[in-house]
Structure 1
Amino acid sequence: MNKRILHLAIPNIISNLSVPLLGVADLALMGHLGTVQDIGAISLGGMIFNFIYWLFGFLRMGTTGFTAQALGKRDFPGMMMHLSKALLVAITTAAILLLLQSPVGWVSFKLVGSSPEVEALTREYYRIRIWAAPATISLYAFTGWFIGMQNTRFPMLLSIVINILNIGFNALFIFVFGMRADGVALGTVLAQYSGLLLALFFFFRYYRKMLNYFTLDGIFHLTAFLRVNGNLFLRTLLLLMALSFFTVASARQSDNILAINTLLLQFFTLFAYFLDGFAYSAEALTGRFIGAADPVRLRRMIRITFLWASGLSLLFAVGYATGHNLLLKVFTNKQDIILGAQEYLHWIILIPLVTFPAFIWDGVFIGATASKQMRNVMIVATAGCFFPVYLLTVNPMGNHGLWLTFILFMATRSVLMTRMAKKSIPRLQ
């Protein structure tokens, strides 16, 4: 079981770690050749699309759970049907997004706010990059399906190839064609469609036989598929609201606090890159064992995954406690920010210890398609913990109150999902 878990987890960890390279490369290119306004446009444009596309993460999660369960049942028509439904939803939602690109853009620019020069460049960036939507959202469908088929190697390769191509295209458009933020946007569009072509190649090269099970019968019967994905969408939206509010609340305090909290959140992000690998593994294996009606291996897999996650969280906590100065200097060379961050390091040490159950249970619940329970937990954690705790602590505790809010928010998710697991996960009773 250890080998199976690591076989699925490690490629996902590598895939996650490749993601930040693109943002660093984009900023480095603009930092050396562009203006301050170009850097701002890429940052704001990237933030807008990260928010939009993160909302579509529900499609990957839902597809993984359904596909893994079909695989466990050896239901080959079901495996093909879930990919077909995911692609149908992806293409439909992408088409709607393209049709509504003007009002979506208008709302986005009103919310982010910037100087006229930066807004003009961001609008150009947005106008170009929005056309990557069909490829980007379809890639969520393929990635979820591959993971559900117990194949995390293809998503890893897709992520690495897309990021490398993106950097290459961006360098070409900036160095050779003299483009600016618009070149970065165009590079992203081309990289996403290249990734979609690679996903199609993987499918036709290694899963061609699945086409024998393709049928239009039932492809439009989307009630169960949309119900699960709708719950996952609401869960993701609430999570985004909490994380976005954390940034807004940081900015309300001062520019220094915003910089410090942004820096410290990188510690959480780094930990998440590793834990997500095990969460994805839990998604794939939970769905498979539920589909195969194998409660013994399901319980064993969950127990072993939690052992790996708890060991990793302890390692990160110790690493953050002993090596925080080194990490802070990697993220910034500004001494005032480094010194200011020291005051809040005890919260950072708590993050791995408090959050790891939520990560793993997310994976288990996704594999079990227990999306209603995930949605309900997030509603309670957001409305019943995050915002009330913030309102009670922000004045007497300041930024410490904000970090306490974040920690209790994640702890609430961990505790509630642990308590709900036996009732929510089939075969776990």
Structure 2
Amino acid sequence: MTPINKQILHIAIPSIVSNITVPLLGLVDVTIVGHLGSASYIGAIAVGGMLFSMIYWIFGFLRMGTGGLTAQAYGSHNLKEATRILQRSIAVSMLLALALLILQYPIRVIAFLIIDASPDVRQLAASYFHICIWGAPATLGLYGFTGWFIGMQNSRFPMFIAITQNIVNIAASLFFVFALGMKVEGVALGTLIAQYAGLLMAYLLWLRYYRPLRKHLSRKHIFEREAMVRFFQVNRDIFLRTLCLVAVTVFFTSTGAAYGDVTLAVNTLLMQLFTLFSYIMDGFAYAGEALSGKHIGANNRTALRLTVRNLFGWGLALALMFTLLYGIGGKGFLRLLTNDEQVILASATYFYWVLAIPLVGFSAFLLDGICIGATATRLMLRAMIVASAGFFLVYYGFRSSLGNHALWMAFILYLLLRGVVQAILSRRLINK
């Protein structure tokens, strides 16, 4: 195996493990409350979990922006700047977390105006929300640490942190619910403790393994004007891109619901296949982020082009593998998720759209990582705007004749446009 491929896998494999552990936090919570004897408990966790996913998804720019900037500083051997990027990221994370804590009541009110739920679920979800919201400093702070570790070519630490969070969450939630007799509040406290356990572990790992960088810590230089302008420019573009991504995702789900419960169930199950593929491809996107940023920081364009070429080799191979796996075993996987024959039968009508996802979508994931590492965030934003516009134009152009098929066709085009437009716009960045 070539050195470049070893570097890619060294970052990608721990990142994939970290990605797979992310949904386990929510799954553990649902499993615990699922044994409490009331469907309203499950509904409360589902609503609360969805709300936090949307909130924290929007702030994902903290991880991505920090990762790209750090990787370039690492590549240029500017460890002083790399250290201060972490300081800036943590400082901004804490300010944003403080805003969420101050605004928690209006956020909850607005969210429940949008989310349709029964009074019992609303009451329980509100309790869950007002406990878990106090984990905002830990969650957003971890975004900064995770991005920084990846930028420093270290994806093992985020993996260790994610595994630790799951272990703490399981132990704490089981203790509060079954030993102390708490209900939804116990699950929320378990999640809260797990979030701070992850942040504490990140800080201790940094102290233990990056101790020499402590000499570069400086309160005076955290908010240097030029550095902060660049930090916010990068993160502003990622934030706006994320809003477009959220708009497409929410529209896909809500529009599918308008076609009836069976269609909503079909879309939800089929999207699990996309999610599974995305966990794998995101691992390679993180590798692209770390390595492309390092090579650009070192002004090594030859290594950058070689990395991109190898990344696309891995991406194409994985896309072909997933297409084959979904073609052979995808319907069997759906039967693991549901035994509703009506839903399984209806899913066959739309299954060929899922088969197109790996080959159509893999380049979008990889180019996202490469552009983040290159801090070419304006390029990412432009590609996302084009792709999102294409999504809505295709759906509204064909919905009257194709119905839910128009929704899937629009989603496939959206993935394709993200990859194609970014490939066109990034050619000069990669080949110059």
1:49-77 deviations in whole A, cap 9, x for unaligned? 00000111100000000000000010011
**Contact 1:131–1:189 under 8 Å retained in 2:** yes
| Residue 424 (structure 2) pairs with residue 419 (structure 1) | yes
Match of 1:285 among 291, 296, 300: 291
Is residue 273 of structure 2 the alignment partner of residue 270 of structure 1? no
Q: Which of 154, 158, 161 is 1:155 aligned to? A: 158
Question: Shift in Å at residue 155 of structure 1?
Answer: 0.3
- The answer to whether the Cα contact below 8 Å between 2:379 and 2:426 also exists between their aligned partners in 1 is no
RMSD of the TM alignment (CA)?
A: 1.0
Q: 2:250 aligns with which of 231, 244, 248?
A: 244
1:34–1:180: 8 Å Cα contact kept in structure 2? no
Residue 336 (structure 2) pairs with residue 358 (structure 1): no
Are the equivalent residues in 1 in contact too, given 2:45–2:128 (CA < 8 A)? yes
Q: How does 1:332-371 map to 2 (within 5 A)?
A: 332-371=338-377
Mapped to 1, the partners of 2:29 and 2:218 lie a distance apart of 43
User: SS of the counterpart of 2:162?
Assistant: helix
CA distance in 1, matches of 2:249, 2:37: 30
Larger deviation, residues 191-200 vs 171-180: 171-180
**Amino acid corresponding to residue 330 of structure 1 in structure 2:** L
Asked whether 1:226 is paired with 2:229, we answer no
Alignment size in residue pairs: 426
What CA distance in whole angstroms lies between the structure 1 residues aligned with 2:357 and 2:332?
18
Rounded to whole Å, the distance in 2 between the matches of 1:355 and 1:49 is 26
Q: State how far apart, in whole Å, the 1-side matches of 2:187 and 2:251 are.
A: 28
Residue 215 of structure 1: CA displacement? Answer: 1.8
Counterpart amino acid of residue 85 in structure 1: R
Amino acid at match of 1:316: F
> How far apart in 1 are the matches of 2:336 and 2:176?
29
Structure 1, residues 215-265: CA drift from partner, whole Å, max 9, x if none? 234311311101110110110111011001000000001011001100000
**180-189 or 409-418, which moves further after superposition?**
180-189
Residue 10 of structure 1 deviates from its aligned partner by: 0.2
Q: Return the letter of the residue paired with 1:379.
A: I
Distance 2:116 2:176 in 1: 27
What residue is the counterpart of 2:325 in the other structure?
Answer: 319
Q: Does 1:257 align with 2:260?
A: no
Structure 1 equivalent of residue 170 of structure 2:
167
CA drift at 1:300? 0.2
Paired amino acid for 1:161: T
1:33 & 1:273 partners in 2: Cα distance? 31
In the alignment, does 2:34 pair up with 1:31?
yes
CA distance in 1, matches of 2:392, 2:66: 31
- Distance in 2 between residues matched to 1:288 and 1:320, nearest whole Å: 35
Q: Report deviation, 1:373.
A: 1.1
Whether 1:330 aligns to 2:336 is yes
Listed as ranges, the matches of 1:20-419 within 5 Å are 20-221=23-224, 222-382=228-388, 384-419=389-424
Sort the Cα spacing of 1:414 and 1:178 in 2 relative to 1 into closer, same or farther, 3 A: same
Shift of 1:184: 1.2
For each residue in 1:8-50, what CA deviation from the matched residue of structure 2 results, as whole angstroms up to 9, or x when unmatched? 0000111111222222222221112241111000000000000
Paired AA for residue 417 in structure 1: Q
C-alpha deviation, 1:394, in angstroms: 1.3
> Is contact 1:158–1:199 with CA below 8 Å preserved after alignment?
yes
The structure 2 residue matched to 1:5, chosen from 5, 8, 11, is: 8
State the SS of the aligned residue for 1:74: coil
Supply the AA of the counterpart residue of 1:78. E
Counterpart amino acid of 1:388? L
- The secondary structure found in structure 1 opposite 2:164 is helix
SS in 2 for 1:32: coil
Q: Distance in 2 between matches of 1:27 and 1:90?
A: 28
Identity among equivalent pairs (%): 47
Structure 1: distance between partners of 2:344 and 2:292: 42
The whole-number CA distance in structure 2 between the counterparts of 1:311 and 1:65 is 26
Deviations 1:368-395 (A, max 9, x none): 001111111111211x211111111111
Matching residue's letter, 2:86: L
SS in 2 for 1:220: coil
Higher mean C-alpha deviation, range 273-282 or range 390-399: 390-399
Mark the runs of 5 or more structure 2 residues left unpaired by the alignment. none
- Looking at structure 1, the residues matched to 380 and 114 of structure 2 have their Cα atoms a distance apart, in angstroms, of 28
For residues 341-379 of structure 1, the C-alpha deviation after alignment (integer angstroms, 9 at most, x for no partner) is 111110000000100000000000000001111111111
CA distance in 1 between counterparts of 2:195 and 2:28 reads 17
* Cα contact 1:250–1:258 (8 A) shared by 2: yes
Q: CA deviation at 1:176?
A: 0.9
TM, length-normalised to structure 2 = 0.97
1:158-185 per-residue CA deviation (whole Å, 9 max, x = no partner) reads: 1111112112211111111111111111
Q: Residues 86 and 34 from structure 1, CA distance in 2 versus in 1: closer, same or farther, beyond 3 angstroms? A: farther
Kept in 1, the 8 Å contact 2:66–2:85? The answer is yes
* 2:403 aligned partner, one-letter code: G
Counterpart code for 2:328: T
CA contact (8 A) 1:26 1:184 kept: yes
For residues 8 and 354 of structure 1, what CA distance do their matches in structure 2 show?
Answer: 24
Task: Tell me how far 1:326 sits from its aligned partner.
Answer: 1.6
